[in-house]
Structure 1
Amino acid sequence: MNSTHPSGDATTLTMTAGTKVLVWAVLGAAGVGLGLALPWLLQNAASWPIPYFNVLEAVGSIESPFMVAGRPAVLGLVGLAFAFFITHEAATLVITDGAISVTEGDDTRIIERSQVGGVYAKGGKVRIESPEGRVLFHDDVEGGRVAIAAAFRRHGYPWESVEQASKEVTQ
Structure 2
Amino acid sequence: MLFGGFPIAGALIGWLLTPLASWLVTLPWAPLQGPAELLESLPQPQVTIGAIVVGIIAGAVLGAVGLHEALTIDISSGRVVLTRGGDVQRIDGSHVAVAFLTGKHLVLLDSATRELARAKTDLKAGDLEPAFRAHGYSWAADDPHRDDYERWVEDLPDLPIGADALFKARQRALDSGDGDDAEELRAELAKLGIVVRDVNKRQYWRLVRDTSG
Same fold judged by TM-score > 0.5? yes
| TM-score range for the pair, normalised by the shorter chain length | 0.5 to 0.7
For residue 85 of structure 1, what is the aligned residue in structure 2? 65
Say if 1:62 and 1:87 are closer, same or farther in 2 by CA, change over 3 A: farther
TM-score scaled by length of structure 2: 0.49
Max Rg structure: 2
After TM superposition, the structure 1 = structure 2 runs for residues 124-163 of structure 1, keeping only pairs within 5 Å, are 125=104, 127-130=106-109, 131-132=113-114, 136-141=118-123, 145-161=125-141
- SS at structure 2 position matched to 1:128: strand
Say if 1:44 and 1:147 are closer, same or farther in 2 by CA, change over 3 A: same
Distance in 2 (CA, whole Å) between partners of 1:31 and 1:73 is: 8
Structure 1 unaligned spans of 5+: 1-18, 163-171
Tell me the amino acid that sits aligned with residue 40 of structure 1.
P
Confirm or deny: 8 A CA contact 2:82 2:89 kept in the other structure: yes
Tell me the amino acid that sits aligned with residue 31 of structure 1.
G
| CA deviation string 1:122-151 (max 9, x = no partner) | 45x45114424686212124xx64452122
Distance in 2 (CA, whole Å) between partners of 1:58 and 1:40 is: 12
Say if 1:149 and 1:37 are closer, same or farther in 2 by CA, change over 3 A: same
Tell me the amino acid that sits aligned with residue 89 of structure 2.
R
TM-score scaled by length of structure 1: 0.59
Confirm or deny: 8 A CA contact 1:129 1:137 kept in the other structure: no
Structure 2 unaligned spans of 5+: 143-213
For residue 180 of structure 2, what is the aligned residue in structure 1? none
For residue 42 of structure 2, what is the aligned residue in structure 1? 63
Seq. identity, %: 22
